Amino acid sequence: MKKLLPHTILAEGEHTGHRHEVLGNGVALYDDGQEGTLLLEVLAGAQATVVHEEHHSQPIAPGWYDRLLVQEYDHFLEESRQVVD
């Protein structure tokens, strides 16, 4: 069961407050219960853009998308984790 989130922030930096955020009308972000993944919907006809303070903006075509975060490996803990910024 996916849950509509009250925002369209794909990821937010803990130490900077900077955000990867989808701007535009006809955009919705869902938590579909899968760990580490969010579900992004861009409606047909919508003009959506992913913005961030330090990265160039990217237009996103209508459709459904899985949002993942890149992973890294902690060789001391010997486990992988999502990159946190």
What's the closest the beta carbon of residue 45 comes to another protein, in angstroms? 18
CA distance 39 to 32: 7
Out of 35, 44, 45, 80, the residue judged to bind another protein by CB under 8 A:
80
53 — alpha (psi -120 to 50), left (phi > 0) or beta?
alpha
At position 45, the amino acid (one-letter code) is G
Q: Choose, by CB under 8 A, the member of 18, 24, 46, 47 that binds another protein.
A: 18
Chain positions contacting another protein, by CB under 8 A: 10-11, 13-16, 18, 20, 39-40, 50, 52-58, 60, 63-76, 80-85
